[in-house]
Chain A
Amino acid sequence: MSTTNGTMPVEKIDFSSDQEVRWCPGCGDYSILKQVQTLLEQSGKRKEEVVFISGIGCSSRFPYYMDTYGLHSIHGRAPALVSGLRSVRPELSVWMITGDGDALSIGGNHIIHLLRRNLDVNVLLFNNEIYGLTKGQYSPTSPEGAVTRSTPMGSTDHPFNPLALVKGADGTFIARSMDRDPKHMREILARADAHRGTSLVEIYQNCNVFNDGAFEVFTEKATKPIHTIFVEHGKPLTFANGTRGIKLNGMTPVIVDTYAGGTSLEDLWIHDERDPFKASILVRLFDDPRLEGAMPRPFGVFYVNDRPTHEDKLRAQVQRSKEMKGPGDLDMLLKGEHTWTIQ
């Protein structure tokens, strides 16, 4: 096996398990599996120190295909399982695989609490804007009006903007990538893995059976330059092959021309992944690309914050308690504070 872009020679340390991969042919999940395996192979991690935990859905079959430790749990609850695991085993590399239904619908309550607590987990949110495993109902990220098997007249639900939700929950690593750009995905995954805290990467993933082409305008050569903007720390926000950029008019982002008498690069919005205010605006670049004058959809690392992880704080308390009271003495515990003796 080699990487999809074929540029890097890869030593074959096999992170793939002996299980046959059972996603539909052409599913975007294959690409993500490939990039994760490649990243791990290059990371120097030992297989046994890596754990994949998933919920339920197409994406959640992921752990079976990795020759690491894996736990395929129940619908929406993976954030709670990884929280328990990380609390007791902070030395492990823990990855959580989830989808738009798993993370944002049935598991919505858990994901926000995982994010605010900030346990050190890499969360890969496969967003295909549809329920695939249950055969084609609309999801909490499906656009309003989406015609699906459960919404023949179009969805009446307003969708989540996943990364705005993540920002609202004080996520400490917020990023977006896509299945059709393996190189970008690998870079983002490596960044996510390096971050200490909950790294949430939303990955646009095509479900070619139930929602084919949902992200076509972002992934196809002809439309990608106009509809996407790849943000990099310290660099101005430009797109359309550098011909356009985004400038902040106060709090309002506006599209400007950058060539021949247009706005100079220094006046553009310079991406700062440490700026929580700008990140809040960036996650809001979420226009429907079909609309006239729509903002391009950002990809890349939106925001990074290094606040301490929950497991570090939990374990520090255990440590401090041991220092203050000494390691637990069971006899003292059973005895309690007041005793009396019958002779």
Chain B
Amino acid sequence: MSNTTLKPKPTETRQNVVILFAGDSGDGIQLTGSQFTDTNALFGNDVSTFPNFPAEIRAPQGTLAGVSGYQLHFGSVEIFTPGDQCDVLVVMNAAALKANLSKLKKGGTIIANTDGFDKKNLRLANVAGEIDPLTDGSLTGYALHTVDVTKLTRTALEGTTLGMKEKDRCKNMFVLGFINWMYSRENALTEGFLQKKFGKKPEVLDANMKALSAGYYYGETSETFSTRFEVKPAPMPKGTYRSITGNQGTALGLIAGAQKAKLDLFYGSYPITPASDILHELSRHKNFGVITFQAEDEIAAISSAIGASYGGALGITASSGPGIALKTEAMGLAFMLELPLVVVNVQRGGPSTGLPTRTEQADLWQAVHGRNGEAPIPVIAASTPIDCFEMAFEAVQIALEHMTPVILLTDGYIANGSEPWRFPEAKSLPEIKPPFIPAREQTSSEGFLPYQRDERGVRPWALPGQTGLQHRIGGIEKQDKTGNISYEPMNHELMVRLRGEKVARIADRYKPIRLDSGPPEGELLVVGWGSTYGAIRTAALQLQAEGHSVAHVHIRHLFPFNKGLGPLLKKYKQVLIPEMNSGQLRQLLRAEFLVDAKGLNKIQGMPFTSEEIRTGVLELLSPAPKVSATSV
């Protein structure tokens, strides 16, 4: 920046920083957070984010219900989670402070917009006695910085023709500019973003740019802030990176799978939080032969995808718990037809409507068991935003190569969270080969057996339009090989067995199970699945560094299990399973492997912190380390 008349302020280096932006859901918090994230990622930091917003689009302004938050963890070291507690809390109003103060470390920094702490805001936030926490001395344990963001923004925008409301909308850019200064980052990335976004509205663009640089200069000139910080680039593996959210990862993985199978992709979907972003992302890529179909309901969403798969496209549907419940019957049909289909469940807090914008892992049983009759469907789960890409690709592989519906579980935490991704080259992804069969010369379908299985138990995929392969399929029990209706008792038992074996054999394709960290045998194995990965990994590495015999394995395949899992579980004296539910994986593992696994369960709609995992492990381990646990 050009202001050279001022003496540069001293800069302190930090290894990693957790910053939480919080404000009213109309304050542009998500944008501020994601812009600062991109800026840091581009700089070379490792990052992990956790957007946290209310279910209401515009909850009453200034109230606790309306608080929107965006947590970012960035560092010069490897980052696995958005951070347990924050170093810096940026709050736009009293409600934001009240809702988030407990997440701030002792002695952490608060940057507060004083305008959000007037009488009205204090009342709306239900602050006891409407006493301003910024001035009553209650925050003395923290480094408190107050900034009248509203006033400063308005001053910076004097002379523009925008109305007061529009001016105030630029507050978030002022804050972002200031934070950029504070962490020695430039405004360039956001300037580019603004130009693209408001290119056609020069006045709005101008105002946002002005607010952004005003915030930056405020940092440079204000005497309140004597120090800036610097977080050096992380020693990330060499290569080219981009930032990716889990839902983007899922969408790209699905497209990549369709491309590698040389198929069109049909996505049937009904809007639902937090899965809708997959629909939004896919609908932008029609040039990949992607057809998105916003169906009339969840049932039509999956049924249309089954119709598309029947026609020879890759049929996909996604939803969250309540929508998945509605799709259940059709999943049974897809299973019975033995057609490829990918069903993504971006889990949220349940049951029923539950907590739409919060996260949970409580749909595991629904995925594994939730159908009438014996209808085993492979279930796989993604553990990070990047893993969403990989598991979505694998879901496509399994669906197409084994002619079966596949359920991919992600959740709101990783779906909306983001991290830097060293994206693969297209050529490094394997080709996917569905069991198509050639058309015949004869027009008669005589002798064609649509349910004749190969050595993996997989039936051929004969497509309407192919000569001589006309056949009828349906949800009614079918005769072995011919697929004709059959109510014959022994045939039914045979078919149930054949369909079950086909799915069980999918485990043959898995890579051998691999520990994420820790000794190959020992005291305790932490078994995780899904989005708990970052918290468990961080905790496990720390426990290992502290000398504990603790290993971590993260399960991607929840049905059927990896064949190496059973033997692995027996190599440790204890098994602990942290889950954001009451113990669903634990029960599955106990049933399958007769292992006395213990649970660590959090059902608050919020992800685990690594400290919670670490404490849970220490409680199970011998009494000695328990002392150190309480001393933390």
Contacts and interface: CB of A to CB of B under 8 A. Distances in A.
A328 B300 contact: no
B470 A342 contact: no
A256 B310 CA distance: 53
Nearest to A328: B288
A49 B469 CA distance: 11
A109 B297 contact: yes
Contacts of A331: 425-426
B286 interface: yes
A87 B266 contact: yes
Contacts of B233: 342
Interface string A46-80: 11110101000000000110111111111001011
Contact of B311 (A72, A88, A317): A88
Interface string B1-37: 0000000000000000000000000000000000000
A110 to B, nearest CB: 5
A106 to B, nearest CB: 10
A66 B472 CA distance: 8
A81 B264 CA distance: 17
Interface string A308-343: 000000110110011011111011011111111111
A49 B444 CA distance: 13
A84 B266 contact: yes
Interface in B397-424: 423-424
B38 to A, nearest CB: 7
Contacts of A209: none
A235 interface: no
Contacts of A79: 300
Interface in A85-132: 85-89, 91-92, 109-110, 112-113
Contacts of A69: 464-465, 470-472
B242 A84 contact: no
Contacts of A66: 472
A150 interface: no
B309 to A, nearest CB: 8
Contacts of B443: 46-48
B374 interface: no
A339 B470 contact: no
Contacts of A338: 38, 42, 189, 242-243
Interface of B: 38, 41-44, 189, 233, 236-244, 252, 255-256, 259, 264, 266, 268, 285-291, 293, 295-297, 299-301, 303-313, 315, 329-330, 332-333, 337, 423-426, 429, 439, 443-446, 464-476, 484-485
A325 B233 CA distance: 35
8 contacts: A68-B470, A81-B306, A84-B307, A84-B310, A85-B308, A109-B296, A334-B252, A334-B426
Interface in A199-232: none
A72 B473 contact: yes
Contacts of B306: 73, 81, 84
A91 B465 contact: yes
Contacts of A83: 293, 295, 300, 304, 307
Contact of A49 (B264, B315, B464, B485): B464
B597 to A, nearest CB: 37
Residue from B300, B305, B439, B465 whose CB has the most chain A CB atoms within 10 Å: B300
B470 A77 contact: no
A318 B289 contact: yes
B570 to A, nearest CB: 40
A48 B469 contact: yes
A32 interface: no
Given A77-B330, A335-B242, A338-B242, A53 B44 contact: no
Nearest to A340: B42
Nearest to A61: B485
Contact of A335 (B42, B293, B300, B423): B423
Contacts of A328: 255, 259, 285, 287-289
- Chain B facing A: main interface SS: mixed
Given A87-B307, A110-B300, A338-B243, 20 more contacts: A19-B485, A47-B445, A64-B485, A69-B464, A69-B470, A70-B473, A72-B474, A77-B303, A84-B303, A84-B306, A88-B264, A88-B266, A109-B296, A109-B297, A318-B287, A318-B291, A322-B286, A340-B241, A340-B242, A343-B238
A183 B415 CA distance: 58
A264 interface: no
Interface string A127-143: 00000000000000000
Given A330-B256, A334-B256, A63 B293 contact: no
A89 B287 contact: no
B293 A84 contact: yes
A87 B291 contact: yes
A89 B330 contact: no
B44 A340 contact: yes
Contact of A327 (B256, B287, B293, B332): B287
B103 to A, nearest CB: 29
B475 A48 contact: no
A243 interface: no
Contacts of B252: 333-334
A86 to B, nearest CB: 8
B307 A67 contact: no
Contacts of A109: 296-297, 300
A143 to B, nearest CB: 28
A164 B43 CA distance: 63
A146 interface: no
Contacts of B240: 335, 339-342
A51 B463 CA distance: 10
A236 to B, nearest CB: 40
Nearest to A67: B470
Nearest to B309: A84
Given A80-B304, A84-B306, A72 B238 contact: no
A328 B252 CA distance: 12
A4 interface: no
A339 B333 CA distance: 42
B419 to A, nearest CB: 13
Contacts of B424: 334
B151 to A, nearest CB: 33
B241 A339 contact: yes
Nearest to B337: A71
B475 A80 contact: no
A273 to B, nearest CB: 28
Contact of A88 (B237, B313, B332, B476): B313
A328 to B, nearest CB: 3
A82 to B, nearest CB: 6
Contacts of B285: 321, 328, 333
Closest 5 A-B residue pairs measured CB to CB? A84-B307, A72-B474, A328-B288, A80-B303, A84-B304
Which of A17, A83, A341 has the most chain B CB atoms inside 10 A of its CB? A83
A80 B295 contact: yes
B474 A77 contact: no
A330 B259 contact: yes
Nearest to A87: B291
A87 B475 CA distance: 22
Contacts of A88: 264, 266, 291, 308, 311-313
B175 to A, nearest CB: 22
Interface string A34-56: 00000000000011110101000
A63 B474 contact: yes
B370 to A, nearest CB: 16
A340 B236 CA distance: 12
A250 B119 CA distance: 67
Contacts of A77: 299-300, 303, 330
A48 B464 contact: yes
A340 B308 CA distance: 38
A330 B252 CA distance: 9
Contacts of A17: 472
Contacts of A317: 286
Contacts of B470: 47-48, 67-70
A125 to B, nearest CB: 18
Given A80-B300, A342-B44, A343-B238, A85 B287 contact: no
